[in-house]
């Protein structure tokens, strides 16, 4: 791994994946301050405060609108990349973060809750394009790619490990900055939300120092000289002719290949089990309850009886464990395989979700059960980071041939964002109506997905598409 390649990998992940993780967790700590601002603003405008249900609805929309923006961003990113290139798409996405930061940073001064909601939706638009869309891996991933290494093998490190680690790092950063000693006070919450401007600005300033993706230059622009020069800088070697010839072969292959649409993918009976597997795993990843944990950690701990003064530090501790679990998952996926990690992860999450329900029901009689709740939350996060967090994206690439892969990613990515929005929006109401039993919904989802993976999805490690297709058949 050369220094230029490592540098651009870290830069893009810092300004994309880390921002995605940060925006997942940033609304958790200042929840009561944002709600108080909404209530006070409503009272100033209309002479009376918001009813509890209406306030919950408005805050749930603030939390979940991020995912709707992400859905739109993931659908538009292909157009941006085709028009402006990978670096150009990333730069324009960074400009969106600057705009969102302005909306959220000045929302209290202007007395506008709408600006917070708009800012959250714009940050989602950025994350959909840069992190869970296709712009983030492309500037550096194709340099690693080699047909001889098998599907996905060549870019596991930059687009899988680094991406997952930076998402965890972004969540942990939000938890640290949300401490009362830092930006966790009432007067700082607009600044807390707008901190995203820092990594986006750094990416915007430094991205022009690196060349465009060699694969994009050669395959899409047919710029052989530009691709050769970019490879020289990325690989640090004068002999790149083998890589150029390989990309030319890929260019010829793609030019003669007809890409299927989403509708054609859904109707193709030859890959129906692969498509169903993408649907089940990607939907299950978000419906597992992990988004509820990220969005509402403080509320969950408060209901579990953790003293309010200890909640921020408990939340930060879970973030540290999450970061460690993400590292463990990244470095074991090629040794253990995809299937064992995802089955174990979903099973652990299901058991721990049931454990939260039991601990909440028994905490009145047994005060020490609050610590069981903490352990279960940690178990859900660790189980997710070690398996379901990264494996579905890798599996999607390995289950389909190149002609079907873009459509499969659209299906999986759209389900990710839609289910993210669903959980973020309905969880407060589910918690109000079902109480401790709401976590049993997540338990059922996790165990059903684990059972499906066990019965249907084969191990894809070191297997070609034809071998995987034959196993499904």
pLDDT band at 155 (very low <50, low <70, confident <90, very high): very low
The answer on pLDDT for 337 being more than 90 is no
Complete domains list, the chain, with CATH: 1-210 (1.20.1250.20), 260-472 (1.20.1250.20)
Q: What percentage of the chain reaches a pLDDT higher than 90?
A: 25
Q: What's the pLDDT tens digit per position in 420-469?
A: 899 989 988 988 888 889 999 999 999 999 999 999 888 777 677 677 77
pLDDT band at 143 (very low <50, low <70, confident <90, very high): very low
DSSP character string of 156-223: HIIIIIIHHHHHHHHHHHHHHHTSTTTT-SGGGHHHHHHTTHHHHHHHHHHGGGSPPPHHIIIIIT--
Q: What is the pLDDT of residue 131?
A: 60
Secondary structure of residue 30 in the 3-state scheme = coil
Q: CA nearest 191: which of 80, 46, 397, 29?
A: 29
Q: What is the pLDDT of residue 75?
A: 84
Q: What is the pLDDT of residue 262?
A: 85
Q: What is the pLDDT of residue 160?
A: 52
| Helix, strand, coil % in the chain, rounded to nearest 5 | 80, 0, 20
Q: What is the pLDDT of residue 161?
A: 61
Across 82-96, 179-193, 448-462, least confident range: 82-96
Q: How far is CA 469 from CA 137, 238, 407, 453, 465, in A?
A: 26, 39, 17, 16, 6
The answer on pLDDT for 144 being more than 80 is no
């Amino acid at each position: 791994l050369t220094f230029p390649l490592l540098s651009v990998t870290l830069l893009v992940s810092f300004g994309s994946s880390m921002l995605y993780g940060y925006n997942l967790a940033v609304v958790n700590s200042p929840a009561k301050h944002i709600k108080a601002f909404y209530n006070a603003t409503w009272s100033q405008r209309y002479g009376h405060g918001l009813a509890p249900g209406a306030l919950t609805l408005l805050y749930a929309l603030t939390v979940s609108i991020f995912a709707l923006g992400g859905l739109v961003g993931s659908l538009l990113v292909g157009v941006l990349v085709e028009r402006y290139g990978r670096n150009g798409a990333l730069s324009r996405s960074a400009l969106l973060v600057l705009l969102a930061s302005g909306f959220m940073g000045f929302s209290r001064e202007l007395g506008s809750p709408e600006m917070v909601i708009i800012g959250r939706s714009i940050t989602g638009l950025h994350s959909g394009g840069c992190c869970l869309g296709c712009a983030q891996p492309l500037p550096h991933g194709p340099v690693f790619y080699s047909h001889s290494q098998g599907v996905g093998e060549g870019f596991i490190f930059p687009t899988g490990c680094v991406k997952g680690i930076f998402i965890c790092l972004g969540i942990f950063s939000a938890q640290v900055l949300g401490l009362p000693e830092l930006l966790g006070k009432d007067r700082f919450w607009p600044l807390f939300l707008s901190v995203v401007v820092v990594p986006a600005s750094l990416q915007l300033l430094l991205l022009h120092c690196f060349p465009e993706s060699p694969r994009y230059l050669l395959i899409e622009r047919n710029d052989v000289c530009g691709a050769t020069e970019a490879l020289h800088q990325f690989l640090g070697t004068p002999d790149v002719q083998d890589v150029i010839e390989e990309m030319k072969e890929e260019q010829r292959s793609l030019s003669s290949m007809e890409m299927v649409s989403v509708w054609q993918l859904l109707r193709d009976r030859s890959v129906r089990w692969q498509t169903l597997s993408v649907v089940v795993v990607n939907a299950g990843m978000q419906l597992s309850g992990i988004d509820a944990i990220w969005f509402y950690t403080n509320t969950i701990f408060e209901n579990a009886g953790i003293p309010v003064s200890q909640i921020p530090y408990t939340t930060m501790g879970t973030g540290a464990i999450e970061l460690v679990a993400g590292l463990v998952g990244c470095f074991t996926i090629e040794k253990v395989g995809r299937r064992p990690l995802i089955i174990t992860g979903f099973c652990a999450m299901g058991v721990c979700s049931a454990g939260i329900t039991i601990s909440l029901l028994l905490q009145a009689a047994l005060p020490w059960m609050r610590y069981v709740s903490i352990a279960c939350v940690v178990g859900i996060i660790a189980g997710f980071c070690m398996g379901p967090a990264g494996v579905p994206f890798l599996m999607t690439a390995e289950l389909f041939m190149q002609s079907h892969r873009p459509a499969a990613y659209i299906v999986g990515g759209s389900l990710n964002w839609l289910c993210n929005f669903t959980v973020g929006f309905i969880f407060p109401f589910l918690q109000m109506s079902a109480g401790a039993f709401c976590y049993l919904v997540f338990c059922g989802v996790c165990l059903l997905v684990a059972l499906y993976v066990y019965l249907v999805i084969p191990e894809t490690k070191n297997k070609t598409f034809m071998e995987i297709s034959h196993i499904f058949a």
